[in-house]
Amino acid sequence: MSTVPRTRVEPGARSTGLRIGALFGPAVFGVTAAGVALPAVSADLGTSPSLTVWVLTVHALALGVGTAVFGRASDTWGVRAVLAAGTVLLTAGAAVCLTAPGLGTLVAGRFVLAAGSGATSAAALGLAASVRAGRRGAVLAAFGGAMALFSACATLTAGVLTELFSWRVVLVLPALSVLAAPLCLRLAARPGPGGPVDLPGAGWLAAAAASLLVLLQSPALALAAPAAAAVALVCVLSTAGTVLRVRRVPGGFVPLRLVTDRGFLVAVAVGGGVYAGLFAAVYAVPQVLVGEHGWDVLAVGAWLLPGAAAGAVLSRLAGGLVQGAGGRLLVAGTAVAFGAALALAGWAGAGPLFPVVGASLGFAGFAVVQVVVTGTMSNRLPAEERGGGLGLLNLSFFVVGGAGSAVAGTLSASVGPSAALAAVAVLPLAGGGLALLLPSAGRP
């Protein structure tokens, strides 16, 4: 009896992009949705807002560092191993958060959860980068649309779940990536080449990023002067250690070739500007709409949903423009429009229109930047550096995004959230201008 060998059927481009988007997307909930639940966390655990903000700070920290570390690991161990590690960490972190009796345990659970979210995010970026160049645009279009949907639905989802169930459910929403992990196994068939990860390099960079994020959040965290000074010292020393490590080990965790690549540095600035504006908008826009215009959380979430549609349309368009100058122009136009809306939101008597439009454009800009920058850098980076390179890129995005939310939080306390939005508008405006300098895909 003869047997006919089975042919492996490759998922279509749209299916591939949606699977990758479903793997990455829940990471967005870790910051955007959790912010809505913070008042309920404080009330239930009896903690002050300045302490409860650690729930957000530790997540942004571990997510950014985890994406960089596991991105590099995916280049050596393979995406399947990273997916397995992310699934374990997400499950363990969610279990701790759901049963945590106090804030300390909750923050520890959120750290583990975010590390797992960083692993699945790194796996998603690695999978997107490994797609054949001929179908990468279509895959990235579907990926960006899914990302826009997750980001725009975060506020509404958090409000509904907090009202119907508990804030604990909102805080573990990043664990939804576990459901998408099995769907992505078929896309991760190629094993990694093996070999060691530069752990000292990873440690120096993690310490630098962690201390910088904590330092930026120090006003919201109400750190005492000695503690802030100690964090600043750690930031300076770990940054110096990272620089020395890069010089001594040019092919280590942070490749020298990458950090001296003008195209990579421009991509960091462009994505960082958009992320900073988005993080600031997610923090301040709900305050403006609730505090200044009397909206409730559900109304805020419902009015931000159109941002998902705009992001899906623009990301689909961006997927077909990655190879040429059109992608740069789309990023520039979206980022500048986003910044302009935030600036107008600070105009006295502007009403709720510009905050809503600004946040919606932020969601769209987030999706477009992910599509264009991921596509551009995937074509520029060698296959053996793609996971690590994209992980470092997204770590930079999260650090600058954390700076945006920190600035918005500090300014909101003194001049109000509307004025804070206007001040932060300079960041996406600058990112939009620099987008015109993004390199063409494939050009060194």
pLDDT digits (tens, 9 = 90+) for 2-54: 454 444 556 777 788 888 888 988 988 887 777 777 778 888 888 876 677 77
Minimum mean pLDDT range among 71-80, 129-138, 397-406: 129-138
Instruction: Note whether residue 20 is domain-resident.
Output: yes
Q: Cβ–Cβ contacts within 10 Å for residue 269, how many?
A: 18
What pLDDT is stored for residue 125 in this prediction?
81
Instruction: Note whether residue 6 is domain-resident.
Output: no
How many degrees, rounded to 5, is the angle at CA 312 between CA 306 and CA 318?
135
Report which listed range, 157-161, 175-179, 209-213, is most confident. Answer: 175-179
What pLDDT is stored for residue 349 in this prediction?
60
Instruction: Note whether residue 283 is domain-resident.
Output: yes
Query: Rounded to whole angstroms, how far apart are CA atoms 56 and 46?
Result: 17
Provide the CATH number for the domain around residue 75. Answer: 1.20.1250.20
- pLDDT, one tens digit per residue, over 83-130 is 999 999 999 999 999 999 998 899 999 999 999 999 998 888 878 777
Instruction: Note whether residue 4 is domain-resident.
Output: no
Q: Report the C-alpha dihedral over residues 123, 129, 132, 138, rounded to 10 degrees.
A: 100
- 222 vs 166, residue with greater confidence: 166
Q: 78 forms bridges with which residues in the sheet? A: 191
Phi, psi of 143 (to 5 degrees): -60, -45
Largest CA distance in the chain: 81
Instruction: Note whether residue 18 is domain-resident.
Output: yes
Query: Rounded to whole angstroms, how far apart are CA atoms 152 and 223?
Result: 32
Question: What is the band of 172 on the pLDDT scale with cuts at 50, 70, 90?
Answer: very high
Rounded percentage of the chain residues whose pLDDT exceeds 70: 87
| CB half-sphere exposure, 148, CA atoms < 13 A | 32
- pLDDT, one tens digit per residue, over 422-442 is 899 999 999 998 888 887 655
Element housing 241 (H / E): helix 225-248
Instruction: Note whether residue 8 is domain-resident.
Output: no
- pLDDT, one tens digit per residue, over 133-157 is 667 777 877 787 777 778 767 777 8
Query: Rounded to whole angstroms, how far apart are CA atoms 335 and 342?
Result: 11
Residue type, 298: L
Number of domains in the chain: 1
What pLDDT is stored for residue 116 in this prediction?
93
Please tell me the total number of residues recorded for the chain in this structure: 444
Phi, psi of 125 (to 5 degrees): -65, -40
Angle, to 10 degrees, between the axis of helix 426-435 and the axis of helix 325-345? 170
Q: 191 forms bridges with which residues in the sheet? A: 78
Q: 440: which DSSP letter?
A: P
Instruction: Note whether residue 66 is domain-resident.
Output: yes
What pLDDT is stored for residue 192 in this prediction?
53
Instruction: Note whether residue 205 is domain-resident.
Output: yes
- pLDDT, one tens digit per residue, over 241-295 is 989 998 888 877 888 888 888 888 988 999 999 988 988 887 788 778 877 778 7
User: What is the pTM for the complete model shown?
Assistant: 0.82
Q: Which domain holds residue 124?
A: 13-435
